[in-house]
């Protein structure tokens, strides 16, 4: 069994990830509502790259998650790899870190901009380059998927749980 860094409890960590994720959800939903008005699209886009757009929502969620992890676990030496930081060239991390957070603050940016609701935030904690905890936040569905290496579950913002419908097909 893998042990988390000294002083980190798995249950407390998952509780913190819930809090961080639902804060990110509020941010994503806020910007999503702004996009209901087509005139706001240019105000929310942070770049002009139609193939790989970046929005203020991407950047704000990126900031929230990284800041919360650093604030709550400032004495833990784990790395953070974020898609947005890589795009902005504002991150230096050791890919061989024993513990590494991997963050995509807004997967599905084009769908987000188009208002389809098919977007999510992905966050994982890897140990020695293998997944340890995974979180997928789907704001438009009010779903937070969590995997802790042993089980997978889905929660609503009110804390109620939904039984996930998972495929048994190993392929």
Confidence of residue 58 (pLDDT cuts 50, 70, 90): very high
User: Would you call 57 helix, strand, or coil by DSSP?
Assistant: helix
Q: Which residue has the tokens 């940016």?
A: 109
pLDDT of residue 9: 95
pTM for this prediction: 0.87
Distance CA 108, CA 114 (A): 10
For 150, residues 6+ apart whose C-beta sits below 8 A from its C-beta are none
Taken in order 61, 66, 69, 74, the sign of the CA dihedral is negative
Per-residue model confidence as pLDDT tens digits over 61-109 = 999 999 999 999 999 989 999 987 665 555 556 667 899 999 999 999 8
Bridge partners of 92, per DSSP, are none
């Amino acid at each position: 069994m893998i042990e988390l860094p000294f002083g980190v409890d798995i249950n407390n960590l998952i509780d913190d990830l819930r809090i961080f994720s639902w804060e990110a959800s509020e941010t994503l939903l806020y910007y999503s509502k702004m996009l209901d008005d087509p005139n706001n699209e240019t105000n929310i886009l942070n770049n002009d790259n139609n193939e790989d757009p970046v929005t203020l929502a991407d950047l704000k969620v990126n900031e929230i998650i990284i800041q919360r992890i650093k604030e709550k676990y400032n004495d833990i030496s784990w790395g953070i790899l974020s898609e947005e930081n890589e795009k902005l060239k504002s991150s230096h991390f050791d890919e061989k870190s024993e513990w590494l957070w991997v963050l995509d603050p807004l997967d599905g940016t084009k769908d987000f901009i188009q208002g389809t609701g098919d977007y999510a935030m992905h966050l994982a904690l890897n140990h020695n380059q293998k997944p340890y905890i995974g979180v997928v936040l789907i704001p438009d569905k009010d779903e937070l998927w969590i995997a802790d290496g042993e089980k997978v579950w889905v929660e609503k913002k009110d804390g109620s749980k939904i039984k996930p419908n998972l495929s048994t097909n190993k392929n």
